[in-house]
Amino acid sequence: MNNRLAGHTNSYHTYDFDQALTGIVEAGYDAVELTAVLGWTEHVDLDAPQAELRARLADYGLDLTVLSAHSDLTTPEGVELGIKAVHWCADYGVPVMNTAIGGHSSQDENESAFLDGITRLAEAADDAGVDVALEIHGDIMATGAKTLPLLERISHPRVLVAYDTANCEFYGDTAAADDIATMLPYLSNVHLKDKRGGPGVWDFPGPGDGHVDFTAILRVLEAGGYTGPISVEIEFQGEPWPPLAEVTEAMARSRVHLNALGLG
């Protein structure tokens, strides 16, 4: 597969922006998915001028593929933040804004409240020429199979999916290799994240260090003709995060593993 493989700065949660960028470059990536999630990983300030960020990424030799800007889309405030993120992407020239229905931490989500707001976000995304990639995450979008009826109800070409290969197990007790094909017509971003333990167990090592079948997943993506962005995301066992050198080592090991499987 020739898809661009990026390092996700959320893998450097608890570390600052330059530490994240330095680690991603040291781990061998030349593309990055940036995180702008209030209250969690705040690597990007959506109100700051973009010129400085462009210069910093150029200095690091990194291309920006996706902005991850989760907000609670069941609230008017969260929808407004999503619209701001969409406009930020349009101004920068980033084609995909990654988010989730209930934001970073929510699991039990209000579907009717989400549906009230998603139309406004979809219209803003359409005007901006940016995809809103809703992440497999939480209760309503626990798996691809569970997400399919929701996407059919929304029925908007700019509202697509960011498939997370570990969240489908954490939230939905479903293996990604058995589920990701359901989302092929809707994919706009993919997070390659590994998993250990069962549903609800927060243990997300680097790809190749857990039990997720990436060989099968990549085979499905290639057969389905997916050509969009792919990012490596590692969330370890939660806070406290491992030492910085261990994070970068895990990111490098993940890239080597995925390269060996034919990605990148």
- What average pLDDT does this structure show over 134-162? 96
Query: What is each CA distance from 68 to 34, 41, 51, in whole angstroms?
Result: 6, 10, 19
Domain that holds residue 106: 5-260
Separation of alpha carbons 212 and 250, rounded Å: 16
Q: If pLDDT is split at 50, 70 and 90, which confidence band does 240 have?
A: very high
Please name which of 229, 193, 192 lies closest in space to residue 30, comparing C-alpha atoms.
Answer: 229
* pLDDT at residue number 238: 96
Buried b (16+ CB within 10 A) or exposed e, 64-76: bbbbbbbbbbbbe
Please name which of 94, 121, 124 lies closest in space to residue 231, comparing C-alpha atoms.
Answer: 94
- Alpha carbon 141 to its chain's center: 14
Query: What is each CA distance from 4 to 132, 145, 190, 249, in whole angstroms?
Result: 19, 26, 11, 20
Burial class (CB in 10 A: 0-12, 13-18, 19+), 258: buried
Question: Alpha-carbon Rg of the chain, whole angstroms?
Answer: 17
Q: What's the predicted TM-score (pTM) here?
A: 0.96
What domain count does the chain have? 1
* pLDDT at residue number 156: 97
- In tens, the pLDDT along 202-223 reads 999 999 999 999 999 999 999 9
Q: If pLDDT is split at 50, 70 and 90, which confidence band does 104 have?
A: low
Q: If pLDDT is split at 50, 70 and 90, which confidence band does 160 have?
A: very high
Q: Taking a C-beta distance cutoff of 8 angstroms, is the pair 88, 253 a contact?
A: no
CATH number where 206 lies: 3.20.20.150
- What average pLDDT does this structure show over 54-68? 98
Q: If pLDDT is split at 50, 70 and 90, which confidence band does 170 have?
A: very high
Alpha-helix runs per DSSP H in the chain: 17-26, 50-60, 76-92, 111-128, 144-154, 167-172, 176-179, 214-223, 244-260
Instruction: Indicate if the pLDDT at residue 109 is higher than 90.
Output: no
